[in-house]
Structure 1
Amino acid sequence: NEKWARWGVLFKEQSIEAIRCYFGEKVALYFAWLGWYTYLLLFAALAGLVTFMAGTTVFSSSRVSKEICDANTTIMCPLCDQNCSFWVLSDTCTYAKVTHMIDNEATVAFAMFMALWATVFLELWKRKRATVVTKWKLHEWDEDEEELALQLINNLQHKPRWYQHSYFRSTVILILALLLIMVLIGIAHMLVIYRAVATALFMQSEVNLLSKHADTMAVMTGAVLHYITIIIMTKPSLLIKPRTLSQQENSFAVKIFIFQFFTNFSSLIYIAFFLGRINGHPGHYVRIAGRWRLEECHPSGCITDLFIQMAIIMLLKQTISNIMEYLIPLISHQLRKKRKRPKKRSMMLGEEEEAEDPCKRKWLNNYELNDVYIFSLFDEYLEMVIQYSFTTIFVAAFPLAPLLALINNIIEIHMDAIKMTRLHRRMVPRKAKDIGIWLQILEAIGTLAVIGNGLVIAITSDFIPVQVYKYMYSPCTRENHTSMDCSTGYINNSLSVFRIQDFEPHTRGPGLAPTELCCRYRDYRDANDYTYTVQFWHIFAARLAFLIVFEHVALCVKLIAAWYIPDVPQRVKNDILKEKYENLSILPREGLCPCFPSKLCLKRKD
């Protein structure tokens, strides 16, 4: 309470040994893991900040952004069907600058760095855990064996619960899981419908600010709505608690994590990989209920939508969740104190007794603390693992995610400390030699991070189309232009031409000059029959090749890092070997084994 659960020691190292002595090894390992995760986030946050700052240097100097800002005569096709006019490409100048501030060559290097960081973090944590657990003499401790021993102590007639497997039960669980996934997919579809309808409504708004920034407003309000669905869908999953058996805890953790993962990332997956790719093209748009068009990406790309979505969700999730996580126990504690206090007529008598016996005051204070249930630590792990997913899986679109996670964790450690020491009763101390199934979940997230960031760069980002243009279609490929930026002309090359006469009659937008016969839209289609051009297939092949190369290189780097860094430090291995050697002593020559006279007997000290 004096050296740990105070805001004044915000940046000081935790005393894990003191936490272990008071709360037990299970809680101490959680704070040891959280502290180690927070410490290594320093390097990821620094790299993300450098990447973001490098992007700010090209905020106004990017050739692609300049072309969008200078496109005063490029007429774009309407973004909705009704009351939507044609617009000029230069209207999205600021949006284009922000996009290319995020989407640049540094992003690729940062994504590769985060894949390596995730592996190094886990490998170094294994070494840290081995050191701590060996110091606590728990490296040979068996949780299942101790649990069985405790059950036998409490009941000598206790019989072990034998392993069973029911194909019928597994089938029912599989069907229920599929139904649950369908519900989550349906929620994701509802968010897609909301964004499409909201975009159309904002476009028709009489407020100039809303109609001008309809797409951005739809993205931001959709992100807030997604956060609300996360809050709603999170609560029911935590109502059912498993029994205390370790294997059931592990099974429960995996199921809840999968549920939470789909809940948190459904909207992000849609924005990253489907937004603007399933909406069709002018004259043949895909519509919801035959009325509302699916939203499109800006000519500058879709990665900014993903950036906005992640920023809003992470900020809301970390600020509001932390405030509620602290306020609810605090208010509950104050209400318990008021409810448990003696009544006024016996107040004086109570105060006299407390003055005579100071222990009673401490007992009363402890009694007034909030109840603590055995799976409260499970909720803390789940919260941090979901945050770790946000920090790694789509980090290529949001380089500031590690920085936000770092700031949150510094506060989270001391907030949890204050809750556990001042607001909740002390947990029953439990032994543990690792963080359990959460380590396997973190390793799975590391693999998903490689796949997710590879897909973001290959599909969501404009990195591949720009590179294909530079080396196959730019002026640099035809002549030796040493003084020219090879991305010159990319925007005009990436916009297809659509004849206005081919619009459906009820969807033709007003406001076009009579002399204009065509409008532009973001795609690679032929101007005559609107089929994909050869350049589209070149870009498709380049995306696929990059994805394969990126993921194989990143996974190879992860495997090499995992092999290169031993899970257990050499000093710890030698200490364990020394302990085993000292526990065994050779009997003198006259102490030969009675059954085998020619053999020396070995005995353990214990």
Structure 2
Amino acid sequence: MDEEDQLLLCQDGYAWDFVLVFPSIQQTVTPPSPLSDVLHRLRLPKKSSKTTPTIDEICYRLKKAGLTLKLVCPSASTWSTSTDIILCLVRGSRQVFAREANRIDFLMPMDKEKLRDVSLHGFPNCGIAPFPIDDTLHEFNMSPYDFIYFKYTGREDMQLLYAKQGPHYGLFTSSQRIFLLESIMTNRHGGAGLNLDKLKHANVLSTYFSLHDAAELKNLASLWLHWGQFPWQQPLHAIQRYFGSRIGLYFAFLGHYTTCLIAPGAVGFVLWLVELSKRIPKNFVAAIASTLIVIWATFFLKSWKRQASRLAMQWGTSTFSTLEQVRPQYVGQMVRSPVTGQPMLYFSKREKSRRRCLTWLLLTVLILLVAAVVAAIFYLQFHMMKRGYSIRVANTEILLAGPVTSLANVVQINAMYYVYNTICEAMNEFENHRTQSSHEGAFIVKSVLFHAVNNFAGLFYITFVKTYIGAACVENDCLGELRLYLLMIFCFQLANGLIQDWVVPHARVLFSQHRAGRSSVAVATQTSVEAQFYLLDYGWRVTFNEYLGLSMKFGFTILFLGASPAMSLLTLLNNLIELRSDSTNLVMNHRRPLPRQASTCGQWMSVLEYLTTLSIFTNGFVAVYASNALLDSSSVDGKNLQLRAFGGFVAVMLILRYCVTTCIKDTPHNVSIQLKRQAFLATKVYTREADDVVPVYESMGSVRLLLVDSASPV
């Protein structure tokens, strides 16, 4: 850190927050074409090929927007070639951040003590009497002034009421500064008006990223990165404060999921021991486990929704909304907007529908390919059983059909995973989505559908099909074969996850440094910005992969738990490791992600809901049919009894899900009350509406607007 950076750190408590990485001048200069000179001589207009701003124009726009820049060329001692890139450090002053926060109505937390003091005195000049709020019914576990958020305004009378969260008693935290800085750079109304993704797509920018705050990151790591921490002890508020609410919600979900798994993990372990002791037939153990896991999944999802709404209230994202830019990859015909009259890109609905039909047709072909591979694997099993392939271990004859086909199924899952990954992004790009959220949403839907079929096809075949087409299970034990498949696939996924989370990130960082030709001495002498440049980018695909892995393991846990009650214990172990590996990777191996706001897990919650509903049918089938809990099922009466038992199981569980969904609200009562308090305080403190026009809260459940006539008696 040079003297300038130290001076900024002493004055404001922070130095630089953002980095734009430009390629070297030699790489960006394009020689003029011969046609350009000909057109100039003939005095014909040239066709401009410049559709994006140059480096000079970008820097000019940033400075005009009030930002401070510092161009840095990495030293030759730390780089193989000193002209590889140019680092443009960006920062803003407190006044610039305040102006942008005022423009976008940025939500800021309020100082609860000063808010309480204001409520005790009111605003007599505005016709507002004191309005103290107390928990007179003693029903709530938080102060009426906790977690209150108002839009930021530059009014002098409001400045003292905002909570001082930043360094040197500043208003803005480092993640809020980065959020506002990005807003200034992309804002067309008084900002720089840059589309950073488009500039990167056009190779004007090599990349861009936000900078870590060394002191804050070190403090977060000391609170977070140690194995002795229980899942419910994560410093969620510190995580959200540093990385933003979207990443904060992911780790909140992972911690909540892991905590809730303790109960089914313990019960599953006990059932596994009971099964080993053979005191209770394993078919009855399977029926008990299948019933309990469906009940657990139903209450788990509801508890998470309530926890998510609580966190959204505490983080000020309950009413979050955003206005997205057009993706730089979006293509279309330039037309005038029928609303504003401004030029806009238009993509015909007919072409959009045609492309989506083609991508879904390709996805269907891939799913059918998975089904064909699974069918071939089970034909191999049938052939091996018919030939009687086996080995003898300790005077015990072990058939090879089960283990070999289980291993083949593991290979199939991973092979098709890589096949899909090579074309999935191209499929989604071909659909030409206008915004990033629609692009991610379509990607999630197609990916979850494919990976669900890819992971669960073999298990569904054993559970629902195999015993009804004349192909006997290995040793006539369908439940045992299902257990073997489930354990082998899950254990391999666990091992693969460990490699992906621990080995691959470290290897990628080392490889990127080696590819740049830097020695160990150069690495030791590099600056903090240069070191962060070589870290891994934390894009939306990273969070997507984490959620996808959790969703698939959630499916393995709840869909077929009756076949292996200990599966919940394995999932608990996996989540404990996942919690540590994900947090370590984020802090140690990745650049600081841009803070993104979120109030829920988005479409991933719908994925878990669908899996839970599906688990009612799969567990009912395992409990009644695969486990053969109703022993006399060979006769007609026995089959009818099985059908009635299966129908009864499904009906009871669906009714339970409906009752839990409708009777237990997604938003806890105290959260709803706190949001109503926030709305009430906003009318009093922020907008300063007089008492005769403020809504009167006659009860906690209803709001009625009473307009009082000043001439009428009160």
**Is TM (by shorter chain) over 0.5?**
yes
In the TM superposition, what is the alpha-carbon distance from 1:178 to its structure 2 partner? 2.9
Give the counterpart of 2:610 among 430, 434, 444: 444
1:169-568 pair list within 5 angstroms = 169-201=355-387, 203=388, 207-209=391-393, 213-215=397-399, 217-239=400-422, 240-241=424-425, 242=428, 245-279=436-470, 294-296=471-473, 298-299=475-476, 301-340=477-516, 342=518, 354=525, 361-464=527-630, 466=631, 468=632, 535=635, 537-568=636-667
Distance across 2 between alignment mates of 1:108 and 1:422: 45
Q: Deviation per CA, 1:173-195: give whole Å up to 9, x if none.
A: 44333322221210110111121
Distance across 2 between alignment mates of 1:422 and 1:158: 44
Distance across 2 between alignment mates of 1:273 and 1:438: 27
Q: Does 189-198 or 367-376 show the bigger shift?
A: 367-376
Cα 1:372/1:583, change in 2 over 3 Å: closer
In the TM superposition, what is the alpha-carbon distance from 1:371 to its structure 2 partner? 3.1
- Structure 1 gaps of 5+ residues are 63-99, 280-293, 355-359, 470-523, 525-534, 593-597, 602-606
Distance across 1 between alignment mates of 2:297 and 2:260: 10
Alignment partner, residue 87 of structure 1: none
Cα 1:307/1:25, change in 2 over 3 Å: same
Alignment partner, residue 45 of structure 1: 265
In the TM superposition, what is the alpha-carbon distance from 1:341 to its structure 2 partner? 6.1
Give the counterpart of 1:584 among 663, 683, 686: 683
Distance across 2 between alignment mates of 1:34 and 1:432: 16
2:501, 2:582 within 8 Å by CA — same for their partners in 1? no
In the TM superposition, what is the alpha-carbon distance from 1:200 to its structure 2 partner? 3.8
Distance across 2 between alignment mates of 1:115 and 1:163: 45
Q: Deviation per CA, 1:434-454: give whole Å up to 9, x if none.
A: 100011111111100101001
Distance across 1 between alignment mates of 2:515 and 2:442: 39
1:76-91 pair list within 5 angstroms = none
Q: Deviation per CA, 1:517-541: give whole Å up to 9, x if none.
A: xxxxxxx5xxxxxxxxxx1x22221
Cα 1:270/1:576, change in 2 over 3 Å: same
1:275, 1:297 within 8 Å by CA — same for their partners in 2? no
Distance across 2 between alignment mates of 1:163 and 1:34: 41
1:108, 1:457 within 8 Å by CA — same for their partners in 2? yes
- 3-state SS of paired residue (1:2): helix
1:374, 1:427 within 8 Å by CA — same for their partners in 2? no
- 3-state SS of paired residue (1:122): helix
1:62-141 pair list within 5 angstroms = 100=281, 102-104=282-284, 106-141=285-320
1:49, 1:399 within 8 Å by CA — same for their partners in 2? yes
The one-letter amino acid of 1:114's match is I
1:12-31 pair list within 5 angstroms = 13-31=233-251
Cα 1:343/1:462, change in 2 over 3 Å: closer
Cα 1:213/1:273, change in 2 over 3 Å: farther
Alignment partner, residue 502 of structure 1: none
Q: Deviation per CA, 1:19-39: give whole Å up to 9, x if none.
A: 112221111110101110111
Q: Deviation per CA, 1:474-516: give whole Å up to 9, x if none.
A: xxxxxxxxxxxxxxxxxxxxxxxxxxxxxxxxxxxxxxxxxxx
In the TM superposition, what is the alpha-carbon distance from 1:55 to its structure 2 partner? 2.2
1:45, 1:406 within 8 Å by CA — same for their partners in 2? yes
Distance across 2 between alignment mates of 1:187 and 1:159: 46
Distance across 2 between alignment mates of 1:415 and 1:185: 33
Distance across 1 between alignment mates of 2:232 and 2:527: 31
Cα 1:341/1:368, change in 2 over 3 Å: farther
* 2:228 maps to 1:5: no
In the TM superposition, what is the alpha-carbon distance from 1:297 to its structure 2 partner? 5.1
Distance across 2 between alignment mates of 1:450 and 1:340: 53
Q: State the TM-score, normalized to the length of structure 1.
A: 0.69
Distance across 2 between alignment mates of 1:303 and 1:423: 43
Q: Does 35-44 or 335-344 show the bigger shift?
A: 335-344
Q: Deviation per CA, 1:199-233: give whole Å up to 9, x if none.
A: 345x256x544996454x21122111111111111
1:6, 1:418 within 8 Å by CA — same for their partners in 2? no
Alignment partner, residue 83 of structure 1: none
In the TM superposition, what is the alpha-carbon distance from 1:271 to its structure 2 partner? 1.4
Q: Size of the alignment, in residue pairs?
A: 457
Distance across 2 between alignment mates of 1:149 and 1:252: 15
Q: Does 381-390 or 556-565 show the bigger shift?
A: 556-565
Q: Does 556-565 or 432-441 show the bigger shift?
A: 556-565
Distance across 1 between alignment mates of 2:621 and 2:290: 11
Distance across 2 between alignment mates of 1:204 and 1:572: 63
2:236, 2:252 within 8 Å by CA — same for their partners in 1? yes
Distance across 2 between alignment mates of 1:132 and 1:391: 26
Give the counterpart of 1:570 among 664, 669, 676: 669
Distance across 2 between alignment mates of 1:156 and 1:3: 53
1:195, 1:295 within 8 Å by CA — same for their partners in 2? no
In the TM superposition, what is the alpha-carbon distance from 1:12 to its structure 2 partner? 6.7
In the TM superposition, what is the alpha-carbon distance from 1:172 to its structure 2 partner? 3.1
2:683, 2:689 within 8 Å by CA — same for their partners in 1? no
- Structure 2 gaps of 5+ residues are 1-220, 331-336, 695-705, 710-714
Distance across 1 between alignment mates of 2:416 and 2:517: 37
2:313, 2:671 within 8 Å by CA — same for their partners in 1? yes
Distance across 2 between alignment mates of 1:317 and 1:389: 13
In the TM superposition, what is the alpha-carbon distance from 1:162 to its structure 2 partner? 8.2
Cα 1:371/1:295, change in 2 over 3 Å: same
Task: Quote the RMSD (CA, aligned, Å).
Answer: 3.3
Cα 1:211/1:263, change in 2 over 3 Å: farther
Q: State the TM-score, normalized to the length of structure 2.
A: 0.59
Cα 1:183/1:383, change in 2 over 3 Å: same
Alignment partner, residue 212 of structure 2: none
